Amino acid sequence: MTTTKVYPFETVEEQRARIEYEDALISAYVPESDTMTREEALALANERDLQAAMALRDDVITLENLQIAISRSRT
């Protein structure tokens, strides 16, 4: 996982920040990243991050619905 995309419109600081963010994302979501390319690991990390966000959204909706039901049952 040594190659990194370079975007010509990025400043050096922006590029470092993006790479740091991508590395953190890969580290958090793809423990098996040493067996794949950086691009593959990043794609998988993004997919897993999206799945986690969707699960969290579902949990929030469930909690909100539960709060509404409790509120209605008290009135």
In a domain, 47, yes or no: yes
- Give residue 39's pLDDT: 96
For residue 34, what are the domain limits? 12-74
- pLDDT tens digit string along 7-55? 888 999 999 999 999 999 999 999 999 999 999 999 999 999 999 999 9
- Give residue 16's pLDDT: 94
Identity at 31, one-letter amino acid code: P
**pLDDT band per the 50, 70, 90 thresholds, residue 2:** low
- Give residue 53's pLDDT: 96
State how many domains the chain has: 1
In a domain, 30, yes or no: yes
